[in-house]
Amino acid sequence: MDTLPSRIQIVEVAPRDGLQAEIGTLATEKKLALIERLADAGHPVIEATSFVNPAAVPQLADAEQLFRALKRRGGVRYPVLVPNEKGLERALSVGVEEVAVFASASESYSRKNLNRSRDDAFAAYAPLVRKAKDAGARVRGYLSMVVADPWDGPTPHEEVRECSRRLLDMGCDELSLADTTGVGTAREIDALLDALEKSSIPLASVAMHFHDTYGQALANTLVAMRRGITTFDTSTGGIGGSPFAKMAGGNLATEDLLWLCHGSQIETGVDVGAISATARWLASELGRELPGHVSRAYRPNGA
């Protein structure tokens, strides 16, 4: 246990990555209530929404309305996803200060998710990132399918390394590496991070984004922690997935990671009880049981 960090940062992605995968659409006021609850629980980074084409992701069609109504707090960051320059312009027009771009380490998923080749996607992101940086925005680069692609098979480490370097070189402040379909195991994650570290990709700039399709997300998180990763994307209740890769399970549940951290004396600044209560509230609003474990089991003081 002495190889684990004393503190990690959680990037809460339920309002964007979580809700985009829901069949129904949560009302704007409910989304705002969710974000408020997450901030109340102590989250320092809450991914608020996505400025994508409303026809592609109707669950997040209210991005401008939501961000205008959002009561932003000091000390809390509210990044949003932007797919192109039009999305960036929409985001900047309502005062967004942090954006994320989304690329794929695999060719097939790039074409299915972004409707363009991997190289074309990177070429389009370079001026977008420059424009965001010129506007004073922080930029995060998501890289999906870093372990395997359901159509292309295992993703070679050299492709993950090349794509990671391209995102960093174009100006991204942070990388979020996603096991999008949740197929990765501890050994595979360890090998991937070892390959990146040996190829001069600074792990200090890397976050991990695990899906729990095969129940491996917590084990993979522990491996990443031991490799020095201290930023992890999670989703309250474990909601999430990809509208363009239906085999993807939900994200690692925030409350499940918090329970691990609580028992391992790893500080997060986020209250597991408050997040568990929020997950139960969200389950009621969505009308279904959510996959997170701790929110269904947690009782204050062991009651």
CATH number of the domain where residue 95 is located: 3.20.20.70
Question: Is 254 inside any structural domain?
Answer: yes
Closest CA to 196 of 226, 233, 160: 160
Element (H, E) at 160: helix 157-169
Question: Is 2 inside any structural domain?
Answer: no
Question: Is 3 inside any structural domain?
Answer: no
Question: Is 261 inside any structural domain?
Answer: yes
Distances (CA, A) of 55 to 51, 61, 207, 241: 11, 8, 30, 18
* pLDDT at residue number 177: 98
* pLDDT at residue number 112: 87
Which residues, other chains included, contact 184 with Cβ-Cβ below 8 Å and sequence gap of 6+?
A: 147, 148, 192, 210, 216, 220
Query: For the chain, first and last CA: distance in Å?
Result: 28
Question: Is 138 inside any structural domain?
Answer: yes
Rounded distance, CA 53 to CA 275, Å? 30
* pLDDT at residue number 303: 44
- Structural domains in the chain (count): 1
CA 68-73-74 angle, to 5 degrees, is 130
* pLDDT at residue number 282: 97
* pLDDT at residue number 193: 98
Question: Is 4 inside any structural domain?
Answer: no
* pLDDT at residue number 114: 86
* pLDDT at residue number 145: 96
Q: Tell me which residue has tokens 């925030």.
A: 254
- Residue 16 has phi, psi (to 5 degrees) of -110, -70
**In terms of residue numbers, what domain contains 266?**
9-302
**Per-10-residue mean pLDDT, the chain, length 303:** 91 96 94 98 98 93 98 97 96 98 94 90 96 98 96 96 97 97 97 95 96 96 97 97 63 97 97 97 96 88 54
Question: Is 1 inside any structural domain?
Answer: no
Residues forming a β-bridge with 46: 12
Question: Is 231 inside any structural domain?
Answer: yes
